[in-house]
Chain A
């Protein structure tokens, strides 16, 4: 028996010791290692219940501008009842007419979020006028727990069609808006969100994160969800700041695909130990991102009840 084993072993060594065979085996193993490195973190985090007892905040972007004034309070109630802990909105107001419908909508929205103890995140668009931001923060600033200074700056366009911000433009715009927000001495945490494209302009999150409390990462598409553990860990390493998924969703008319995508992502991000994930969107008239009235609404509510605290 030992003779047989020894001759098999010797035969194997002899066979693999041929240069051609050795090269082929090394190449094959390299391919397997690459596949393992790409897919293993996603498979592991998505399928295990790591960090099950950790706090995880699920939020959602509410496009309240697209709803009527009398709908907004009930919509916030519904969002709260599903278990969401944060609502994200985009800066939008009319500084010229105090009682403009747009401003009234905000008053109603904040009366509901204050009533339910929901945290509110404000998105300041990249080229917003500082006077408008000043007006907005003077009037409603105290309601915010989080303020987003710039949106995906590494990809955003300047005034010129087809061009993107240069590094200098990004940093100048960021500093201007940062100073405007800071001048209001609010208790809100400041953050900037980045798309997956940050990997090609990593100097932008490295530079901006110095002044931020946390950084956001926006994840869209199945492929980037699979790769997101790598992007998240890299973002954590280069900024040394907590990473929150600030935009996560799928625009599709296939409700099943949308639900699956969102639930897979929530499992993944919680298992990775991230502090939270904010979905886009609650409602959206012009695309299929919205989860309101679709199967994802109830499934996400069930997921929150079971997994988020």
Chain B
């Protein structure tokens, strides 16, 4: 597989997963908010900025290690995940603000148009090692 194909696959998987999680959080926002306030709000923040980044960070390094035949990681899961989440949400924020788009439209742009650049960002943001790790 060529490098560009690997990056495209990585970007596609991450953009789809981030979009699905964002849609779930948008849909469940009111349910979180009305649950024993302000605990529900705290849970929403916890899931959005703690749980989600860890999941994304694990997924990213798993993809890197699978596609590039490496082991281990250079950047910790949470830091890598929050970086990808912030990159993804910043791109969406700019698109939504600038062009008055809905999240569905920006998610489609992310998946169809920006998958490759997002794959490059994701590949840059973490990496494994070629050497065996003890």
Give the B-binding residues of A (Cβ under 8 A). 16-17, 19, 22-23, 26-27, 29-30, 33-34, 36-37, 40-41, 44-45, 50, 167, 199-204, 206-207, 229, 237-238
Interchain CB contact under 8 A, A22 and B126: yes
Known: A41-B97, A229-B97. 7 other contacts (CB 8 A): A26-B80, A33-B89, A45-B97, A199-B41, A202-B40, A207-B34, A238-B33
Q: Which residue of A16, A17, A29 is within 8 Å of B83 (Cβ)?
A: A29
Q: Cβ of B37 and Cβ of A37 under 8 Å apart?
A: no
Interface residues of chain B, those whose CB is within 8 Å of chain A, are: 26, 29-30, 33-34, 37-38, 40-41, 74-75, 79-80, 82-83, 86-87, 89-90, 93-94, 97-98, 100, 124-127
Q: Are A238 and B83 in contact (CB-based, < 8 A)?
A: no
In the bound complex, what is the Cα–Cα distance between A167 and B124 (angstroms)? Answer: 48
- The CA-CA distance from A91 to B38 in the complex, in Å, is 32
A44 touches B98 (CB 8 A): yes
Interface contact B33-A202, CB-CB below 8 Å: yes
Output the least CB separation between A177 and chain B (Å): 22
Question: Hey, which chain B residues are within 8 Å of A203, CB to CB?
Answer: 33-34, 37, 40
> Are the C-beta atoms of A30 and B86 separated by less than 8 Å?
yes
28 cross-chain CB contacts under 8 A: A16-B124, A19-B74, A19-B75, A22-B126, A30-B79, A30-B82, A30-B83, A30-B86, A33-B87, A36-B93, A37-B86, A37-B90, A40-B93, A41-B97, A44-B97, A50-B100, A199-B41, A200-B37, A200-B41, A202-B30, A202-B34, A203-B33, A203-B34, A203-B37, A204-B37, A207-B34, A237-B29, A238-B29
Whether A22 contacts B74 in the complex (CB less than 8 A), given A206-B33, A207-B34, comes out as: yes
The 7 residue pairs across chains A and B that have the minimum distance between CB atoms = A33-B86, A202-B33, A19-B74, A203-B34, A200-B38, A203-B37, A33-B90
Contacts of B33 in A (CB 8 A): 202-203, 206, 238
Q: How far is the CA of A36 from the CA of B97 in the complex (A)?
A: 12
Interface of B is mostly: helix
Q: Which residues of A contact B79 (CB under 8 A)?
A: 23, 26-27, 30
CB of B90, distance to nearest CB on chain A (Å):
5
Residues of A with C-beta under 8 A to B90: 33, 36-37
Structural contact, A23 and B41, CB atoms closer than 8 A: no
The CA of A203 and the CA of B97, in the complex, are separated in Å by: 26
**Given that A30-B86, A201-B37 are known contacts, is A23 also in contact with B75, CB under 8 Å in the complex?**
yes
User: Is A26 within 8 A of B75, CB to CB?
Assistant: yes
Given contacts A16-B124, A41-B97, contact A201 B74 (CB under 8 A): no
Distance in angstroms between the alpha carbons of A41 and B90 in the assembled complex:
11
> Which residue, A19, A23, A26, A203, has most C-beta atoms of chain B within 10 A?
A26
Q: Are B86 and A22 in contact (CB under 8 A)?
A: no
Question: A51: shortest Cβ distance to chain B, in Å?
Answer: 9
A27 to B83, CA, bound (A): 8
| Contact flag A26-B97 (CB < 8 Å), given A16-B124, A19-B74, A206-B33 | no
Q: In the docked arrangement, what's the CA distance between A41 and B75, Å?
A: 30
Q: A residues within 8 A CB of B87?
A: 29, 33
Q: How far is the CB of A205 from chain B (nearest CB, A)?
A: 9
Which residue of the partner chain B has the closest CB to A41? B97
Nearest residue (CB) in A for B124 is A16
User: CA–CA, A56 to B126, complex, Å?
Assistant: 48
Query: How far apart sit A40 and B34, CA to CA, in the bound complex (Å)?
Result: 29
A214 to chain B, nearest CB (A): 18
Minimal beta-carbon separation of B127 from chain A (angstroms): 6
- Given known pairs A22-B74, A34-B86, A37-B90, the reply for A201 and B34 (CB within 8 Å) is no
Say which residue of B30, B74, B86, B98 sits within 8 Å of A23 (CB atoms).
B74
C-alpha gap A237/B34 in the complex (Å): 14
User: How distant is the Cα of A74 from the Cα of B81 in the complex, in angstroms?
Assistant: 62
User: Contact between B37 and A26 (Cβ–Cβ < 8 Å)?
Assistant: no
* Complex contacts, B30 vs chain A, CB 8 Å: 202, 206, 238
A167 lies within 8 A of B37 (CB): yes
